Amino acid sequence: MTHDSPTAAAERRVLAAIRAIPEGFVRTYGDVSPGAPRFAGHVLRAVHAPDVPWGRVVRADGSLAAGEKQRARLDAEGVPFRPGATARVDMRVARMAGEA
């Protein structure tokens, strides 16, 4: 029997929540790591697995942490953006509802 650290278990929960976001939708850092959105950012910076759709995690206001690279991925999935000078996902349309 192996014993996981609380941090390792929390990382797995965050990654599972991110992997569960369907194409064309987004969730916020707080959605995938309730109460600790910065932890989700830490996990995403450390994990480079190809099956983690990192681009589907955005800031609460719909803005993008990874700029044009993230925008290109979301555009390719048909995620809608609000008009304006700053790229922001239309969270009313694209935010996946429900618990992480």
Digit-by-digit pLDDT tens for the chain (100 residues) are 455 787 899 999 999 999 999 999 999 999 999 999 999 999 999 998 999 999 999 999 999 999 999 999 999 999 999 998 889 999 999 999 776 5
Tell me how crowded residue 77 is: count the other CB atoms within 10 A of its CB: 15
Q: What is the DSSP letter of 90?
A: -
Q: Is the dihedral of CA 62, 63, 64, 67 positive or negative?
A: positive
* pLDDT at residue number 70: 96
* pLDDT at residue number 97: 79
Structural contact between residues 14 and 40, judged by C-beta atoms closer than 8 angstroms: yes
H-assigned helices in 1-100? 6-19, 29-32, 37-46, 67-76, 91-94
Structural contact between residues 58 and 21, judged by C-beta atoms closer than 8 angstroms: no
* pLDDT at residue number 2: 52
pTM over cut 0.85:
yes
How far is residue 90 CA from its own chain's centroid? 14
- Distance, in Å, from the CA atom of 57 to the CA atom of 86, rounded to the nearest integer, reads 17
* pLDDT at residue number 1: 44
